[in-house]
Amino acid sequence: MESYDLALPLPATGDVTTTEQCELASAAEAAGFNLVFVPETWGREAFTRLGYLAANTETIRLGTGIVPVHSRSPALIAQGAATLDELTDGRAVLGLGLSGPEVIENWHGVDFRPALRRQRETIDIVRRVLSGDEVTYDGRLFDLRQFRLRFEPLQSDIPIYVAAQGATNIELTGGFADGWMPNRIPVSALSEKRKHLKRGARKQDRDPAGIATIPWAATCVLEDGERARARCREMIAFYVGAMGDFHYDAVADHGFRETADRIQNRWQSGEKNTARKAVSEELLEEIAIAGSPDGVGHLFERYKGIADTLALLPPTTASVEEIRETIDNVGDLLA
């Protein structure tokens, strides 16, 4: 695993408190992880928690993972990132994404479309704000005039990572972001998907090699390997079966359409246990790192040469104790 860094996306479920998330972040720091991502769905807000983590960590990088571009103005996103960078003495990372129309329209009350245009303009404006220069911006969605951030960020180039699954969004990421965060895309498909990233970079006269790839893999490493695998199956079945087209397509479009159909049909018929069992061994190994400590080494090896940072995403059903055990086991593997 020496060829890439490790990140821990903290759990987004409502039953994991901010204090518990901070304890997990500290455990990841002690275990040798390089980055912690703080999520934001329709539960706890991200930047407040990041401030708490900033006060309770010393070296690990901290970032949003992710905040939707619809939930704040671009200028406020930049203010949050710059403030976090000050609190962490230059350890901030900004992870952005689209979320989905269900969350954006039914929770935030904002039109989801034109989503990609909003993401593009948000990245543009955030960069200009963080540069410290006066910001005047004439976009299709945003019109800013003659304002400047009132303090100087420690990093004028805080890394901006984008969660993207579709070809057009990946291409946009290549054109304007610093890193790409694919989630639940089979590891065997990542090199092919990076072609879209490279195409977007070249259109903007950027070097594709300078754009990081940060895959997110559902990860549970327990002494009880079967329980770890069950946890990841539960997560995969939920996202493929219940969370809309983006997550279904990420699996179905890369060689697992029959499996994805089986999972989705059974989940939507109320047969959730059967849907979990429908997650095949092959699919599990393509998008998850699950098992006992002595049985997952080959799964980490698969990301060498592909990942610049590998984000080990805890299953949504994993307990805090299971996440902590996973962190410790991965730390031992790193040693």
The tokens 């805890």 sit on which residue? 314
pLDDT at 160 > cutoff 70: yes
pLDDT at 246 > cutoff 80: no
pLDDT band at 1 (very low <50, low <70, confident <90, very high): low
pLDDT mean over 246-271: 90
pLDDT band at 233 (very low <50, low <70, confident <90, very high): very high
pLDDT tens track for 119-144: 999 999 999 999 999 999 999 999 99
| Residues 21 and 146 placed together within one structural domain of the fold | yes
pLDDT mean over 93-98: 97
DSSP class per residue in 124-185: HHHHHHHTTS-EEEE-SS-EEEEE--SS--S-TT--EEEE--SHHHHHHHHHH-SEEE-BS-
Instruction: Work out the percent of the chain whose per-residue pLDDT is above 70.
Output: 99
The tokens 């993207």 sit on which residue? 164
Mean pLDDT rounded to a whole number for the chain: 95
Strand blocks (E) in the chain:
5-9, 35-38, 61-64, 67-68, 92-97, 135-138, 143-147, 160-163, 179-181, 212-213, 216-221, 288-291, 309-313
Report CA-CA distances (Å) from 200 to 128, 176, 309: 20, 8, 21
Q: Which residue has the higher pLDDT, 14 or 18?
A: 18
Query: What CATH number is attached to the domain comprising 212?
Result: 3.20.20.30
| Residues 141 and 245 placed together within one structural domain of the fold | no
Sign (positive/negative) of CA torsion 56, 59, 65, 69? positive
Q: What is the count of structural domains for the chain?
A: 2
pLDDT of residue 129: 98
In degrees rounded to 5, what are phi and psi of residue 199?
-60, -45
pLDDT at 254 > cutoff 90: no
| Residues 228 and 133 placed together within one structural domain of the fold | no
Q: What is the residue range of 276's domain?
A: 224-291
pLDDT band at 3 (very low <50, low <70, confident <90, very high): confident
| Residues 252 and 314 placed together within one structural domain of the fold | no
pLDDT mean over 13-22: 94
CA atoms of 293 and 171, how far apart (whole Å)? 36
Structure tokens at 257: 């359409």
Cβ atoms of residues 322 and 231 within 8 Å: yes
| Residues 179 and 328 placed together within one structural domain of the fold | yes
In degrees rounded to 5, what are phi and psi of residue 161?
-110, 140
| Residues 85 and 202 placed together within one structural domain of the fold | yes
| Residues 83 and 232 placed together within one structural domain of the fold | no
pLDDT mean over 218-245: 93
For β-strands 35-38 and 216-221, DSSP reports them as: unpaired
pLDDT band at 177 (very low <50, low <70, confident <90, very high): very high
pLDDT tens track for 36-81: 999 999 999 999 999 999 999 999 999 999 999 999 999 999 999 9
| Residues 303 and 272 placed together within one structural domain of the fold | no
Domain boundary residue, one of 276, 291, 306: 291
pLDDT of residue 247: 81
pLDDT of residue 249: 87
| Residues 111 and 18 placed together within one structural domain of the fold | yes
pLDDT band at 295 (very low <50, low <70, confident <90, very high): very high
CA atoms of 85 and 276, how far apart (whole Å)? 41
pLDDT mean over 86-97: 97
pLDDT tens track for 217-226: 999 999 999 9
Domain boundary residue, one of 259, 274, 291: 291
pLDDT band at 2 (very low <50, low <70, confident <90, very high): low
| Residues 41 and 69 placed together within one structural domain of the fold | yes
Predicted structure pTM score: 0.95
Structure tokens at 164: 């993207």
| Residues 202 and 229 placed together within one structural domain of the fold | no
| Residues 164 and 230 placed together within one structural domain of the fold | no
